[in-house]
Structure 1
Amino acid sequence: MTFIHPGEILRQRLKEKNMNLSEAAKVAGTTKATLSRLISGKQALSASLAVKISILCNSDPLSLLASQNVYDLAILKEEEKTSVGEK
């Protein structure tokens, strides 16, 4: 099963809307750098950012936060498997 980082959801929605990062940042009330870090998976989604990008993603903030939690848990499980396999 594949788990999707919320940044990937945002990337897909921006592509569908033909919207660049500068435009998206203006709509969301955040910076281009913040959105870039989120899209690249280098930043986790916070509650405040979920509220800001929800309109861009055509989703509610709670669903976006849930996707971040599912993603984080999947990463932890993979790390546990790797560390158990190394012992």
Structure 2
Amino acid sequence: MSMQIEAETVADVTKRLRRAEGQIRGVIAMLESGRDCSEIVTQLAAVSRALDRAGFKVIAGGLQQCLESDDAAERTANVAQMEKLFLSLA
């Protein structure tokens, strides 16, 4: 069982991950420059949320594909797989 990520979702998730990549570089710079602990933790929380949103976007696309399947057994298996992936992010 394999589901491909739609091009629109790939573009959106890639944009989100590139933004998170920039945030991570910013956090590293903050650490290296000795910034305040609370500022660093605030930025780390923002990066974590950005990564979670990227994962949820991928899962949402997968769920949509699951619902479009004509085969009931395949649909059930795909939904179970998406649920497991969702819970891994929660």
TM-score (norm 1): 0.39
Highest Rg: 1 or 2? 2
